[in-house]
């Protein structure tokens, strides 16, 4: 297949799946061992699960868990994995619990193959439900969706609940991502034991792959933590949504070759982005399909715009 010029060469992607316990150092050592294994098997980009330093603490609302958060600057995990990425010449998106002043975020820093930090993404969509009490801990992210230029590819990175939102995947693809990555912590529903989200969880991301003609991968944890059984099934799918790697319920590393040039050529030919009609998508900028969402922090929102936005909707009955 002829590929578009100026696209990255094919590279190897790995996703890590493992159980995570109560001891922070043991968790990090386990993930580091899997990163080394993946690199030894030829991986260039390696994705660990979400918040892998600790058990999934948002199962419960506890004040003492805020002590787990640390600022990005001087964070020991970022320093350790920066040195590891530089040693192995691999790219690692690192999920961590971030404190920024009086705010707390569920964040990812992408570390490039030379050990440098390519940037920060803060989780945009924050879930709130039994066993997944993230709104107690995390503010909604303020970075916007990000794409990170690394040695091997441009990475779009969302975090867990982000993976259910097509707007997130579309935005990252529009921003130039070569593939979409989702570090994850998801499993059973403590108050609905008969609700199994495993297959829908995977299907929605495969839908993003198909609709955006872009490879998608997710790295989940496994094992029982308190009331949740994390179901793993970490995977890598290509730009058609076909599975390239499936870790199922086992600990380990799943690898696949990603060809950004082939994806870009397929995407251009399929016409999804050619035929988009952004001018018709105004409803997506509203909360209820009718009223605009106010962005009062924008200096360009003048008084007239604000007055119009605050007018009650017309009664068409």
Catalytic residues: 50, 123, 160
- Residue 63 in 3-state DSSP? helix
Residue 213: name the closest of 238, 233, 231, 182 by CA: 238
Closest listed residue to residue 218, CA positions, set 234, 207, 238, 199: 234
| Cα distances (angstroms) measured from residue 155 to each of 151, 177, 179, 260 | 10, 5, 6, 11
Sort strands 252-258 and 11-17 into parallel, antiparallel or unpaired. antiparallel
- Is the separation of the CB atoms in 180 and 158 below 8 Å? yes
Distance CA 14, CA 47 (A): 6
Of 100, 93, 111, nearest to 71 by C-alpha is: 100
What number of CA atoms fall less than 13 Å from residue 113's CA on the CB side?
Answer: 15
Residue pair 274/250 in contact by the 8 Å Cβ criterion: no
> Distance (Å, rounded) from C-alpha 146 to C-alpha 110?
10
Q: Count of alpha carbons within 13 Å of 29, Cβ hemisphere only?
A: 6
């Amino acid at each position: 297949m002829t590929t578009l010029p100026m696209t990255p060469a094919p590279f190897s992607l790995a996703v890590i799946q493992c159980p995570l316990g109560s001891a922070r150092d043991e968790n990090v050592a386990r993930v580091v061992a899997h990163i080394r294994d993946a690199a030894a098997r030829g991986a260039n980009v390696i994705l660990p699960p979400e918040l892998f330093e600790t058990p999934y603490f948002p199962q419960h609302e506890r004040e003492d868990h805020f002590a787990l958060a640390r600022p990005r600057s001087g964070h020991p995990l970022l320093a350790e994995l920066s040195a590891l990425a530089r040693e192995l010449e691999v790219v690692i998106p690192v999920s961590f619990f971030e404190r920024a002043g009086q705010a707390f975020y569920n964040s990812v820093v992408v570390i490039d193959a030379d050990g440098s930090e390519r940037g920060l993404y803060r989780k945009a969509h924050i879930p709130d439900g039994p066993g997944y009490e993230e709104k107690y801990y995390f503010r909604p992210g303020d970075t916007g969706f990000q794409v990170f230029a690394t040695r091997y590819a441009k990475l779009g990175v969302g975090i867990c609940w982000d993976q259910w939102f097509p707007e997130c995947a579309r935005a990252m693809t529009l921003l130039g991502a070569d593939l979409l990555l989702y570090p994850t912590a998801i499993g059973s529903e403590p108050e609905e034991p008969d609700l199994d989200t495993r297959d829908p969880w995977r299907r929605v991301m495969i839908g993003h792959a198909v609709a955006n003609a872009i490879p998608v991968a997710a790295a989940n944890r496994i094992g029982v933590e308190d009331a949740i059984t994390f179901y793993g099934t970490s995977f890598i799918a290509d730009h058609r949504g076909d599975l390239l790697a499936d870790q199922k319920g086992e600990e380990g590393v799943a690898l696949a070759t990603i060809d950004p040039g082939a994806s870009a050529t397929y995407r251009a030919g399929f016409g999804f982005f050619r035929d988009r009609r952004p001018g018709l998508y105004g409803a997506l900028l509203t909360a209820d399909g009718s009223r605009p969402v106010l962005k009062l922090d924008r200096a360009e929102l003048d008084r007239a715009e604000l007055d119009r936005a605050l007018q009650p909707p017309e009664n068409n009955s």
